[in-house]
């Protein structure tokens, strides 16, 4: 599998929608704001096309993101943060852009907010993938 520079890609046993639902809960627990959820497979179906599951979560903390945008307005192309869960050839994956890569790309300091963002994303991914068995209230999607 091709691994784009600066992207964390983790194999998951969870179907994409469930992984993103868990990831969403983790970022909300970390007091980040969810801006949008895009279900690419559902959109493809509406267009008369088929594809394996792929769900994108767009989220962040405006208090932190705004500081980065003030320092480097072009960083808005990579902000807010995103997490993508998808299936390919029978396997499930969870990925996100590493904030330190975003910082290097836009000439931002990797201290302070970037380190906190990196830790928050690692924690959200760890929480998402910690116990990959379905609970009684979760259904595979």
Identify the CATH number of the domain in which residue 122 sits: 3.30.310.70
For helices 113-130 and 99-106, angle between their N-to-C axes, nearest 10 degrees = 150
Does residue 22 lie in a domain region? no
pLDDT digit string, tens, across residues 6-64 = 999 999 999 999 999 999 999 999 999 999 999 999 999 999 999 999 999 999 999 99
> Would you say residue 141 has pLDDT above 70?
no
Domains contained in the chain, number: 1
pTM of the predicted model over 0.75 = yes
Does residue 8 lie in a domain region? no
Domain ranges, residue 59: 30-130
pLDDT digit string, tens, across residues 88-111 = 999 999 999 999 999 999 999 878
* 66 phi-psi bin (left φ>0, alpha ψ -120 to 50, beta other): alpha
Does residue 1 lie in a domain region? no
Does residue 121 lie in a domain region? yes
């Amino acid at each position: 599998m091709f691994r784009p520079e600066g992207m964390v890609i983790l194999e998951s046993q969870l179907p994409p929608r469930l992984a993103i639902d868990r990831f969403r809960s983790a970022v909300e627990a970390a007091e980040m704001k969810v801006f949008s959820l895009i279900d690419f497979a559902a959109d493809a179906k509406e267009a008369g096309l088929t594809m394996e599951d792929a769900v994108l979560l767009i989220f962040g903390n405006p208090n932190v993101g705004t500081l980065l945008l003030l320092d480097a307005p072009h960083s808005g192309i990579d902000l807010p943060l995103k997490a993508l869960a998808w299936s390919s050839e029978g396997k499930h994956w969870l990925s996100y852009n590493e904030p330190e890569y975003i910082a290097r790309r836009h000439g931002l300091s990797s201290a302070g907010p970037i380190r906190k963002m990196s830790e928050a994303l690692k924690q959200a991914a760890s929480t998402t993938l910690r116990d990959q068995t379905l609970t009684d209230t979760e259904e595979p999607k």
